[in-house]
Structure 1
């Protein structure tokens, strides 16, 4: 089992214990200076360098970070290993904004669109990512969408499905990178999220859906984003630790 910790929220360095896992590899960016895009490119490039040899050796890396932007690094690492994956993206949000449509300016809201090739000079080109075509992307849940995201998804080749419909038959063929933002789970079950969204699926439902994909033996990397705020509350930390343990067990049963 290879667990890769990427202790960053976008370009912000987190304390290692903010994502409570025992990691085999902890990613350190070598680009401390520059603007936010350059620093994020450094984080994603370092992630790709950690992921690639694990995939090349036949392993399934579990990549845990504080933000969805890291997913591009995970995919780039899989590609470097000679694998051309589709992406299944679990998230309470759409993450399909561009710089032109975002009203908040929060770059995490662009994560999936960047993976699909938006603003390549700032992201894909900078980290050595070959953008994943929209038709090779499935967005799961995304119950909190801005109007611009609704408009985009209405015409995009990206398919959107509920958690209950996730199966081998509803995702693209071939190898898969499975990305899960833990805020896809109902906010009542995951405390301290930066952007909590109520009325979502249960932890058990999300884990079961991920399990159905792992059962296909087509998942080549598991990317988990933990966009929560730091807490010293032991109850909250225990919930987070248990959730991450259950997620990691999907990739490495037994």
Structure 2
């Protein structure tokens, strides 16, 4: 049977901030949220809209402006997959919680959300089920807060370098389970990444991350992939940004044609 092609989904938000310049591929479905009130319910409503859109996609490839929206993607996948593993490529661990975070920044808690460590942070309308630590592979994570580092050390999350051979081996140890692949662009070496919100210094090259993605696609049943396009708003639609996204998605087997933003 022929392999399914990717269904492109775009959620152009960073937390509850709309990114009007976010690049939109020509064939993508853009998440359209309901009217959003002021206050903490905004992100929950955005996540609900994203989950509904992802649930309608056979093989979603999601372009997003942040990492926490991953909880919506995973909740949608869990509607059709009883078990789901997570491959998380990121310069950060995203393993902070409200109790240990020094900044309170929700974007640094995204993987902790999936593994059930942030109870009460959001409502439970998504029906998100906890992903066991043993089903999570965290690649790179070179930039950790001290308490976050301790929390990861005490967990059963599999820590590996951002290396294609290490990814292939780690996914092989998980067995034949569908995989949600999450990549935050800040995993890239800062020299390869102009305009990132949270650059993290020396790290894997763009070519090495392409090899990592290709290895994951070749060695696992990818149920979905997610690119957290965490560029600063004024850089989120630069030509270099588009080229980076195009190269990363091409490594997964997707070919993007870009839609011109409004006003150009």
TM-score by length of 2: 0.87
Deviations 1:56-104 (A, max 9, x none): xxxx211001100111111111112345311010100111011010101
Measured after TM superposition, the shift of residue 34 of structure 1 is 4.7
Q: How does 1:26-175 map to 2 (within 5 A)?
A: 26-30=30-34, 32-36=36-40, 38-55=41-58, 60-123=59-122, 125-164=124-163, 165-171=165-171, 172-173=174-175, 174-175=177-178
- CA 1:181–1:82 in 2, change beyond 3 Å: closer, same or farther? same
Partner of 2:251: 250
- SS class of match (1:4): strand
CA contact (8 A) 2:8 2:61 kept: yes
- CA 1:129–1:23 in 2, change beyond 3 Å: closer, same or farther? farther
Partner of 2:227: 224
TM-score by length of 1: 0.90
CA contact (8 A) 1:66 1:227 kept: yes
Measured after TM superposition, the shift of residue 20 of structure 1 is 5.0
Measured after TM superposition, the shift of residue 216 of structure 1 is 2.1
Moved over 6 A (4+): none
CA contact (8 A) 2:195 2:235 kept: no
- CA 1:221–1:155 in 2, change beyond 3 Å: closer, same or farther? same
CA contact (8 A) 2:10 2:24 kept: no
- CA 1:133–1:223 in 2, change beyond 3 Å: closer, same or farther? same
Measured after TM superposition, the shift of residue 252 of structure 1 is 3.0
- CA 1:149–1:54 in 2, change beyond 3 Å: closer, same or farther? same
State whether structure 2 residue 195 is matched by structure 1 residue 192: yes
Counterpart among 8, 16, 33 of residue 11 in structure 1: 16
Aligned length: 246
CA contact (8 A) 1:116 1:131 kept: yes
Partners of 2:222 and 2:66 lie apart in 1 by 20
Partners of 2:113 and 2:235 lie apart in 1 by 33
CA contact (8 A) 2:160 2:167 kept: no
Structure 1 spans left out of the alignment, 5+ residues? none
CA contact (8 A) 1:76 1:128 kept: yes
Partner of 2:3: none
- CA 1:102–1:96 in 2, change beyond 3 Å: closer, same or farther? same
Measured after TM superposition, the shift of residue 250 of structure 1 is 3.0
Structure 2 spans left out of the alignment, 5+ residues? 1-5, 256-264
Measured after TM superposition, the shift of residue 241 of structure 1 is 0.6
Partners of 2:36 and 2:56 lie apart in 1 by 24
